[in-house]
């Protein structure tokens, strides 16, 4: 449905495990376009309770739907009394710049603030997830201002970068198969070249391994990585994050799992442990 | 990939909760075409144990993928030591008759043996699920000959019909939002007219409510139905099944749930209780 400048519109609502998985559209000032997000409201909110919020950032090609449909997180979030918010992965709409490939443009916002034309007009996912979306969520829904953040692949990169650059903003951070060192992998180099230009000092602000190596204030961090992940060696590079954590004595737990790949079958197998990790830091 | 007449080919394998979600292609003699199915093998099979099999029949438009991706069943099946097999919902391929609508033809096999042209050449999903697929599964995978069956919507209809017509074949049967009385609803009347022709005595062999009303041998049966289901009144008619169970004193548990709709958000919310129901009858 078309949205006015200020509207927030519920488009879908699905009862899930006693709570509700809902999708909303709204007009984003940061991104200069209409956006969608999903929210799971656990059953505790029905009786007036306010709950903490766990933000989920999805990977390449995803929307606000994938995590809610495939991860199986609502069961545990309903038990723990945690809301989950899943934004889309890029600005959207006919006048938003795009690229034919799946790793640049729509579905591939990389959670950065683009400074290069034509991307800078809309691609400001860092600010959107950092400021506009939480302000909207906290003004609209029965939630507290306690927040944690997690994500997958490109979204794991986004979650780590947001937490590392803003100590105290999130109670905890976790990632499945994150792009851990984007300045040194093809996906990151392609996206950062387009969105951020040639100045690699700007790139460093969006690289979890570089940020973690310099960190002085810490957010509890958990990473799970499948060893049968087809992107492990070329794109994900968890060893860079591990070395950075060692250098700064960052409280990172990084688990490697034999046989698991990059899919939601991996995420769904470990999502319960991530939710319990975050709940322990949100309570 | 193209399949030879006798080949069984593993096309995808995803580690899930310590077990494996796998997809296979094979050449079906019953359906006269190449088919796909999914199987979840729980971790118990890795150490040589044989496990019982729970067959899942999907609803309109689905394939072998939907249940495995969205229901969240692997977590519980891994705990209980039960394999799950999910066939496709119709014959497939370029030479298989189809219809433009979503409730007839491909994706809408209705688990019947068609007797009308052009459908009868391939549309024999009843025999495929009843005989060919279990024989293939039991000859190929580390499973016992203990079987239960469940499904959703059109697949709930299929599961109930297969169990009702073959007492002793399945240890238990369950359904989410089944098409309970297809001879009296638009979906069923359209499909049965096309596949089965005008003779309504043939239709009666595929109607769960008519079969349950006449039943003398029983299979434990569980049905869950959401009360916000958009198809409840016109297509699903659980009251017909309930009345039939009352007439024959059939051991049917039918639960109605406020707020839940026809989606996988409903299925995922209750799949654990279905798996535990079946496991209690398979052990």
Contact B185, B195 (CB under 8 A): no
Q: DSSP 3-state assignment of A97?
A: coil
Q: Which residues of A touch B264 (CB under 8 A)?
A: 69
Asked if A69 has any chain B CB less than 8 Å from its own CB, the reply is yes
Question: Which residues of A are marked as active site?
Answer: 153, 229, 262
Q: Which residues of B touch A272 (CB under 8 A)?
A: 75
Q: Which residues of A touch B14 (CB under 8 A)?
A: 261, 263, 265-266
Average pLDDT over every residue of A230-256: 98
Asked if B46 has any chain A CB less than 8 Å from its own CB, the reply is no
**Chain segment B184-208, per-residue pLDDT in tens:** 999 999 999 999 999 999 999 999 9
pLDDT of A3 over the 90 cut? no
Q: Give the per-residue pLDDT at A7.
A: 82
Closest alpha carbon to B172 in B53, B257, B64, B42 = B53
Are B265 and A228 a contacting pair at CB < 8 A?
Answer: no
Closest Cβ opposite residue B15 in set A21, A69, A260? A260
Cα of B272 to nearest chain A Cα, Å: 10
Average pLDDT over every residue of A188-197: 98
- Report the C-alpha gap between A146 and A156 in whole angstroms: 20
Are A268 and B228 a contacting pair at CB < 8 A?
Answer: no
Average pLDDT over every residue of A161-182: 98
Task: Determine the residue of chain A that is closest to B262 in CA distance.
Answer: A14
* Strand segments (E) across A105-178: 143-152, 173-176
Are B261 and A21 a contacting pair at CB < 8 A?
Answer: no
Asked if A277 has any chain B CB less than 8 Å from its own CB, the reply is no
Q: Which residues of A touch B17 (CB under 8 A)?
A: 268-269
**Chain segment A74-131, per-residue pLDDT in tens:** 999 999 999 999 999 999 999 999 999 999 999 999 999 999 999 999 999 999 999 9
Q: Give the per-residue pLDDT at B4.
A: 45
Angle (CA) B134 B138 B141, round 5°: 125
**Chain segment A128-159, per-residue pLDDT in tens:** 999 999 999 999 999 999 999 999 999 999 99
Q: Give the per-residue pLDDT at A1.
A: 40
Q: How far is CA A78 from CA A48, A70, A104, B36, in A?
A: 15, 16, 35, 35
Chain A interface, mutation test: which of B265, B271, B272, B273, most A Cβ atoms within 10 Å?
B265
Closest alpha carbon to B204 in B188, B218, B220 = B188
Q: Which residues of B touch A228 (CB under 8 A)?
A: 15
Asked if A72 has any chain B CB less than 8 Å from its own CB, the reply is yes
For this complex, say whether ipTM is above 0.90: yes
- Report the C-alpha gap between A165 and A86 in whole angstroms: 20
The DSSP 8-state label assigned to residue A53 in this structure reads: E
The DSSP 8-state label assigned to residue A201 in this structure reads: H
Asked if A17 has any chain B CB less than 8 Å from its own CB, the reply is yes
How many CB pairs below 8 Å do chains A and B form together? 62
Residue A2 tokens, joined: 């078309």
Are A16 and B75 a contacting pair at CB < 8 A?
Answer: no
- Report the C-alpha gap between A64 and A157 in whole angstroms: 17
pLDDT of chain B along its 283 residues, tens only? 444 445 899 999 999 999 999 999 999 999 999 999 999 999 999 988 999 999 999 999 999 999 999 999 999 999 999 999 999 999 999 999 999 999 999 999 999 999 999 999 999 999 999 999 999 999 999 999 999 999 999 999 999 999 999 999 999 999 999 999 999 999 999 999 999 999 999 999 999 999 999 999 999 999 999 999 999 999 999 999 999 999 999 999 999 999 999 999 999 999 999 999 999 999 8
- Report the C-alpha gap between B205 and B195 in whole angstroms: 13
């Amino acid at each position: 449905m078309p949205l006015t400048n200020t509207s927030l519109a519920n488009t879908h609502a699905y009862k899930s495990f006693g709570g509700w998985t809902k999708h909303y559209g709204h007009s984003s000032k940061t991104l200069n376009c209409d956006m969608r997000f999903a929210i799971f409201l656990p059953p505790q909110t029905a009786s007036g309770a306010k709950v903490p919020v766990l933000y989920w950032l999805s990977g390449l090609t995803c929307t606000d739907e994938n995590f809610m449909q495939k991860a199986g997180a609502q069961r545990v979030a309903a038990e723990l009394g945690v809301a989950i918010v899943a934004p889309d992965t890029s600005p959207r709409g006919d006048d938003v710049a795009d690229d034919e490939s799946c790793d640049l443009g729509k579905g591939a916002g990389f959670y950065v603030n683009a400074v290069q034309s034509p991307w800078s007009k809309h691609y400001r996912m860092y600010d959107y997830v950092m400021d506009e979306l939480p302000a909207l969520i906290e003004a609209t829904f029965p939630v507290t201002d306690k927040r944690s953040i997690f994500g997958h692949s490109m979204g794991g990169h986004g979650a780590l970068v947001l937490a590392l650059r803003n100590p105290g903003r999130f109670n905890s951070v976790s990632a499945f198969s994150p792009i851990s060192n984007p300045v040194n992998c093809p996906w990151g180099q392609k996206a950062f070249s387009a969105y951020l230009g040639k100045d690699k000092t700007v790139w460093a602000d969006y690289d979890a391994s570089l940020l973690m190596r310099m960190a002085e204030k810490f957010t509890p961090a958990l990473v799970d990585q499948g060893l049968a992940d087809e992107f492990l060696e070329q794109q994900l590079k968890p060893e860079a994050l591990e070395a950075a954590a060692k250098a700064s004595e960052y409280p990172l737990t990084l688990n490697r799992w034999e046989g698991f790949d990059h899919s939601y079958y991996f995420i769904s197998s470990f999502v319960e442990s991530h939710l319990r990790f975050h709940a322990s830091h949100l309570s």
